[in-house]
A and B are shown apart, each in its own frame.
Chain A
Amino acid sequence: EPEVTQTPSHQVTQMGQEVILRCVPISNHLYFYWYRQILGQKVEFLVSFYNNEISEKSEIFDDQFSVERPDGSNFTLKIRSTKLEDSAMYFCASRGQFNQPQHFGDGTRLSIL
């Protein structure tokens, strides 16, 4: 069964550094998403991406965040200058068409020191 893969599984970064989280969505999917989950809290929507542009973003997704689909397979989330409060699990998800469910990767645990 095809799956969403994310790398790295764990990223440790100094505060103020840039970090790039990588995702390979399911092939032929058209909609891509990033979510995050702070330890012990709910899964929170960050951004959706379709047709090579952001379709929707949350208040969390400020100027420090960006997403990119540099080629036909990867989907990345960049945080330019990390803060302590960015420490969380970051999940990538993708879906095919409207009304189809999203499929999630197993996440990248981001730890900011």
Chain B
Amino acid sequence: LAKTTQPISMDSYEGQEVNITCSHNNIATNDYITWYQQFPSQGPRFIIQGYKTKVTNEVASLFIPADRKSSTLSLPRVSLSDTAVYYCLVGDGDSWGKLQFGAGTQVVVTP
């Protein structure tokens, strides 16, 4: 499983866009990039998954450059309720699916 590196923490104000970049230099050909959000005392919640280029859903966008060695999760117009830990995970879609979580990025949104 490819190792990922992401910032430990990020601060933002309400209404701003938050971009979290994750490095995964050793990503393999079959690996997908998946982002989760976790609130205290809750399970990780799936946000978005992608393989290349750009993926967008109702809550976030995921930008993946051509070399796939990094990815950026973009949260548009954050609110206080977006304060959480965000995890970037890279995994082999052909494996049994074990996820290896890192420490994630603690995002704190203030008024």
Do A and B form a real pair?
Answer: yes
Chain B residue with the shortest CB-CB distance to A56: B96
Q: Select one of B41, B46, B94, B100 contacting A103, CB under 8 A.
A: B46
Q: Is the CB of B43 within 8 A of A104?
A: yes
Q: Name B's A-contacting residues (CB within 8 A).
A: 32, 34, 36, 38, 41-46, 49, 87, 93-94, 96-103
Q: Select one of B32, B41, B46, B98 contacting A107, CB under 8 A.
A: B41
The A interface is mostly helix, strand or loop, or mixed, namely strand
Q: Is the CB of B97 within 8 A of A48?
A: yes
Q: Which of A14-22, A67-75, A77-85, A91-99 contacts its partner?
A: A91-99
Q: Is the CB of B100 within 8 A of A99?
A: no
Q: Contact residue range for chain A?
A: 20 to 34
Collect the chain B residues with CB atoms within 8 Å of residue A104's CB. Answer: 36, 43-46
Q: Is the CB of A107 within 8 A of B101?
A: no
Chain B residue with the shortest CB-CB distance to A91: B43
Q: Name A's B-contacting residues (CB within 8 A).
A: 4, 31, 33, 35, 42-45, 48, 50, 55-56, 58, 89, 91, 93, 95, 98-99, 101-107, 109
* Contact sample, A vs B, 27 pairs, CB 8 Å cutoff: A31-B96, A33-B97, A33-B98, A35-B99, A35-B101, A42-B103, A43-B99, A44-B101, A45-B98, A45-B99, A45-B100, A48-B97, A50-B96, A55-B96, A56-B98, A58-B98, A95-B97, A98-B93, A98-B97, A99-B32, A99-B93, A101-B34, A102-B99, A103-B46, A106-B41, A106-B43, A107-B42
